[in-house]
A and B are shown apart, each in its own frame.
Chain A
Amino acid sequence: MKRFEKVFPWLILVLAMLFIVWIASPPGAPGKNEFDFHTFGQLPVMDRGRTKPMDTVARSYLVFLTHKQTLKDNKDNRQSAVKWLLDVLVSLPPWREGTSFDGPAAEYKTFKIDNDEVLNMLGLEPRSGLRYSLQEFRQQLGPVIALAKRASNKDVKQRTLKDVKLMEFAQQLESFQRLATYQIPFSVPPPSGKGDWHPLSDYIDAGLDVIQRDPVAIGYLRILSAYDQRDARTFNKEVRELHSYLTEQFPDKTADANFEVFFNRFEPFHHATHLYLYALILGCLSWIGWTRPLNTAALLLGFLGFLIDSWGLYGRMDILDRPPVINLYSSAVFIGWCAAGVCLIIELFFRNSFSLVVGMAVGSVTSGIIGHYLSLDGDTLVMLEAVLDTNFWLATHVTCITFGYAAMFVAGFLGIAYIIMGLFTPLLRGEPSAIVTKILYGVVCFATLLSFTGTMLGGIWADQSWGRFWGWDPKENGALLIVIWAALILHARWAGLIKQRGLAMLAVAGNIVTAWSWFGTNLLGIGLHAYGFKQGTKIALITFAISQLVIIGLAMIPMENWRSFMKQTPPPGKPSTKSRPQPAMSS
């Protein structure tokens, strides 16, 4: 039994690793009559300012349309994004007469339409999933597109929710149309290697002799025509020829594209989130019994997840050649990574599963859930506007401030853990109570340092870009609020105004402040009458704030009713002395 206790954590780790290796192994060669989608997905193209594999193009546009990574066809079979893209590409091919889209692409339920009014205008009934095919609504399309255009000409403040949803829908349609007519992606590289990429549509407009002179353009047309005729053999032959041609001509770009396809397929953040969740569960179980083996197992799983998470972040940085945080999505992933990392390191010191559980919770929530929702706009690896195009400030200011968010969330969730555990379990009795408080205090100090420095670096960046250090604009103010709040917690602690419980409560309130700074300030810009794309974000933010207030409210319950501090309660009237068990301990 003792031996099993020692072996158990490593057994879990080996199992998890085997699973990861299985996931990461390359797909088998396609069968004789199967299409080689994998190689097609590896072809490098230029889209939204960046060379990326066809696979990323397929995934990002599919996600943009459906808000899902994969698609089910009409027979409920799962289709990969690449297959969907190929079907779109042959829905209106240049060799066919006519100007209307048809084929499977028009029948896939790819358009997520989540607004009643838009659905109504398109003559559609709400149904589960809210995904519809072009075939279902194309008759009603004209007026809807025209209204969407009208909405986009409106002043931002005048737009109604309907307008915004119409524009969203029109954007989906436009992407679909541009994909199907080969206007995106830019798939033909400059012949000499220098110059601009061009979309296939340019070549088709230029005529047959121009196409025939370019091996890539003609290669794509052969591939698509073979796919249109369901000729797997020709398709595979042409795809491989084109791939090896591109590999020869653009070895770097193809290698990057191959890596990105692997990255896409491996989904590191997805697996890291799962491992964090398992670690979280094991960590919680360790409080019930069999403490040491479960805690070790959780720690090992956590570290494995962290390793994969780190690899994922590194992969993104490598693909884009950028620091980790470039947009809202990557900030979520980065916060998850930081929180997990910090907490795992703290756990190494204390081994009581507290910071482990908190870190895993923050890690899986931000990187898994929030990150997932933020990735629904399409490709998350975006190019940056001129003012943001500076690796120096992205690496310093943005990284620092995002790390600060992560530290604030860790502190906040430690506060939640303190309140929940103290209130409903006896686990905090004695030493743990003081230890959690110490960790919490240390993390708040760390958060203060990061938030302050991050915010001020942002000011310096602004001074470099616009000539003013501080402009009191909503985004800057949001960051400043975190700094003030963190400083307030520390000074209140030093002033003796708060003790353990108060520290936990203020840290939980810090969650609201941080969430506000992270998301809220973006929402403010949307006028009172306009709803913007982020209606869901607004509701999520309010819900989160209320939940935090409820937890703070729970913490108001007198200490003698907390399970962790119940029995040692002195006679009523002096509860405050009880809430400070640590002087005896730390001295």
Chain B
Amino acid sequence: MSSTATQPGPAPASLKEADMKGALVPGNKPRAGLAWRILQICASLRVTVVLFVLSFLLVFWGTWAQRDESIWAVVNSYFRWWFVWIPLKPLTLELIDLPVYIPFPGGWTIGSLLMINLLAAHAVRFKLTWKRSGIILLHSGIVLMMLGEFVAAFQIEGRMSIPEGHSSNFIESDRTMELALVRRLNDKEQEEILISGSRLRQHDGKPIVDPQLPFDVEVVRYLVNSDLGPADLVSQPNLATVGIGLRQVAVEKSETTGVDPTQAVEIASAYVNLKRKDTGESLGTYLVSAWFSYLLMPPETVTVDGKKYDISLRNKRAYKPYTIHLTRFTHDKYPGTEIPKNYQSDVRLVDPTTGENRLVKIYMNNPLRYEGETFYQASLYPMGKGTVLQVVRNPGWLMPYFSTAMVTLGMLVHFGIMLVNFVNRRLA
């Protein structure tokens, strides 16, 4: 098996042709067997090219689809899944808009096939020579990079919002919600009873009954993305029977799209009917909305059996053993403009479990990495002076760094060898 690398430059095509035949037709070498034959087909460069074409189309349509769907919907349906039904609209670059869907291999299918193809190719043509060193290095880098993207699909993202002078010990998920019943125990602690957003979302008319809950919760309506409006101006029946829901109404809003320049997040709302456990008597239908948490509204309170619960729909929280205290937030602009020059959060990280207690400056391109989590300066605290930190947990975060270096080095070596050979021949 002569390899691609042994013929630097645009190698004689006839020779290449022979290569291909060699890869496809057993018999050049007497190791023929079914497995070997399958391996050779898998290793074919033609397959590589076909897969490249497929991935090109997938990426292209996956970009267009972001005009209509949220970036996360697209990532999860196009790139991080096995197959995708592509609507006609992005497929035809919006020339035709019919509810027709074409099946197409998803990112994981193409990625896996590319991986098989690549590994098979090296298995078939493996030869450890200097001339092939670049190729081997760069392809190992590619393998690592694809694995990195695979690992990244399971990374956890969230954010931590801290007003200046305050602390936080939890990370809010960007996309999952929870219904929280919070009871203050004392100055230092509170009790929380949580119903996950997916439970709320798949409501079926039956109340959620659980021994942990102080009352039964019946989800009357759940809005994935919503807006609020004054009750007297919105022409829809008001489901709420108590509280702020009497004044404000939640209205359905379409999901956000990936190319939306404002990149608004989805803000959910729900109507929940709370029922006494003993009598089944309704305590009222409440409007709960992520808007309220977002706008810093005082919570709705429900008192049952002498216990007072704050009830709110909020982004799912993950509590941490450590606390981050924002001592100072600075936000500079260029003089005479609105162009932000720098954001910086001066924080104190306090972790009683490890005894960690230090000052950290977090600013653009300078994140804080702690306990597997990375805190990035993301934006301004929307309600006042303060910061919003993006928090990411990705155990594979170093993989792209290595793979980029490997692939680049590999290409430099490979193309470098080709160039040197070419120049030598030219001089000869």
In the complex, is A directly touching B at CB under 8 Å? yes
Check: B336 CB closer than 8 A to any chain A CB: yes
- Contact (Cβ within 8 A) A586 B12: yes
Provide the residues of chain A in CB contact with B52, threshold 8 Å. Answer: 484, 487-488, 491
Separation in Å of the B8 CB from the closest CB of chain A? 10
Which of B49, B342, B367 meets A497, CB within 8 Å?
B49
Provide the residues of chain A in CB contact with B74, threshold 8 Å. Answer: 472
- Contact (Cβ within 8 A) B16 A474: no
Tell me the B residues contacting A by CB distance below 8 Å: 4, 9-17, 19-20, 44-46, 48-49, 52-53, 55-56, 59-60, 62-64, 66-67, 71, 74-75, 78-79, 94, 145, 148-149, 152, 155, 157, 258-262, 333-337, 339-343, 364-367, 374, 376, 378, 390-392, 394, 397, 400-401, 403-404, 407-408, 411-412, 415, 418-419, 422, 426
- Complex: A49 Cα to B145 Cα, angstroms: 40
- Contact (Cβ within 8 A) A452 B59: no
- Complex: A132 Cα to B46 Cα, angstroms: 60
Check: A480 CB closer than 8 A to any chain B CB: yes
- Contact (Cβ within 8 A) A386 B341: yes
- Contact (Cβ within 8 A) A457 B404: yes
Provide the residues of chain A in CB contact with B15, threshold 8 Å. Answer: 583
Separation in Å of the B266 CB from the closest CB of chain A? 16
- Contact (Cβ within 8 A) B46 A587: no
- Contact (Cβ within 8 A) B56 A470: no
Provide the residues of chain B in CB contact with A445, threshold 8 Å. Answer: 411, 415, 418
Separation in Å of the A441 CB from the closest CB of chain B? 5
Which of B12, B401, B408 meets A449, CB within 8 Å?
B408
- Contact (Cβ within 8 A) B14 A467: no
- Contact (Cβ within 8 A) A48 B336: yes
Which of A464, A469, A528 meets B152, CB within 8 Å?
A469
Separation in Å of the A580 CB from the closest CB of chain B? 5
8 Å CB interface, A531-587 against B: 580, 582-583, 586-587
Provide the residues of chain A in CB contact with B418, threshold 8 Å. Answer: 442, 445
- Contact (Cβ within 8 A) B157 A467: yes
**B-contact bits for A489-524, CB 8 A (1 contact / 0 none):** 001111111010001000000000000000001001
Separation in Å of the B416 CB from the closest CB of chain A? 10
Which of B19, B157, B404, B426 meets A496, CB within 8 Å?
B19
Provide the residues of chain A in CB contact with B64, threshold 8 Å. Answer: 524
| Also in contact, A481 and B60, with CB within 8 A (given A449-B408, A456-B407, A525-B259) | yes
Check: A248 CB closer than 8 A to any chain B CB: no
- Contact (Cβ within 8 A) B62 A472: yes
- Contact (Cβ within 8 A) B258 A390: no
- Contact (Cβ within 8 A) A464 B365: yes
- Contact (Cβ within 8 A) A383 B337: yes
Separation in Å of the A393 CB from the closest CB of chain B? 7
| Also in contact, A386 and B16, with CB within 8 A (given A468-B157, A474-B66) | no
- Contact (Cβ within 8 A) A583 B63: no
- Contact (Cβ within 8 A) B14 A493: no
Provide the residues of chain B in CB contact with A229, threshold 8 Å. Answer: none
| Also in contact, A467 and B391, with CB within 8 A (given A383-B339, A448-B411, A473-B258) | yes
Chain A residues bordering chain B, tally (CB within 8 A): 76
Which of A446, A463, A492, A493 meets B400, CB within 8 Å?
A463
Tell me the A residues contacting B by CB distance below 8 Å: 46-50, 156-157, 184-186, 196-197, 199, 349, 383-387, 389-390, 393, 437-438, 441-442, 445-446, 448-449, 452-453, 456-457, 459-461, 463-474, 477-478, 480-481, 484-485, 487-488, 491-497, 499, 503, 521, 524-525, 527-528, 580, 582-583, 586-587
- Contact (Cβ within 8 A) B49 A473: no
- Complex: A8 Cα to B44 Cα, angstroms: 55
Q: Give 30 CB contacts A-B under 8 Å.
A: A46-B336, A48-B334, A48-B337, A49-B336, A49-B339, A185-B336, A349-B426, A383-B337, A385-B339, A386-B343, A437-B10, A442-B422, A449-B408, A456-B145, A456-B407, A457-B404, A459-B404, A464-B366, A467-B157, A468-B157, A470-B149, A471-B75, A484-B59, A488-B52, A493-B10, A495-B49, A496-B45, A524-B63, A524-B67, A528-B94
- Complex: A50 Cα to B336 Cα, angstroms: 9
Separation in Å of the A514 CB from the closest CB of chain B? 13
Q: Nearest B residue to A445 by beta-carbon distance?
A: B415
| Also in contact, A184 and B411, with CB within 8 A (given A468-B152, A481-B59, A580-B13) | no
Q: Nearest B residue to A576 by beta-carbon distance?
A: B13
Separation in Å of the A400 CB from the closest CB of chain B? 10
Provide the residues of chain B in CB contact with A449, threshold 8 Å. Answer: 408, 411-412, 415
* Central interface residue in A156, A383, A468, by most chain B CB within 10 Å: A468
* Extra 16 A-B pairs, beta carbons < 8 Å, given A384-B339, A470-B400: A49-B335, A49-B339, A383-B341, A386-B340, A438-B10, A453-B408, A456-B404, A460-B404, A466-B378, A469-B400, A495-B48, A499-B13, A525-B261, A582-B12, A586-B10, A587-B12
Provide the residues of chain B in CB contact with A387, threshold 8 Å. Answer: 364-365
6 closest Cβ pairs, A-B complex: A49-B334, A467-B392, A495-B45, A456-B404, A496-B16, A488-B52
Q: Nearest A residue to B412 by beta-carbon distance?
A: A449
Provide the residues of chain B in CB contact with A499, threshold 8 Å. Answer: 13
- Complex: A512 Cα to B70 Cα, angstroms: 26
- Contact (Cβ within 8 A) B45 A491: yes
- Contact (Cβ within 8 A) A452 B9: no
- Complex: A121 Cα to B225 Cα, angstroms: 38
- Contact (Cβ within 8 A) B49 A488: yes
Provide the residues of chain A in CB contact with B411, threshold 8 Å. Answer: 445, 448-449, 452-453
Provide the residues of chain A in CB contact with B404, threshold 8 Å. Answer: 453, 456-457, 459-460
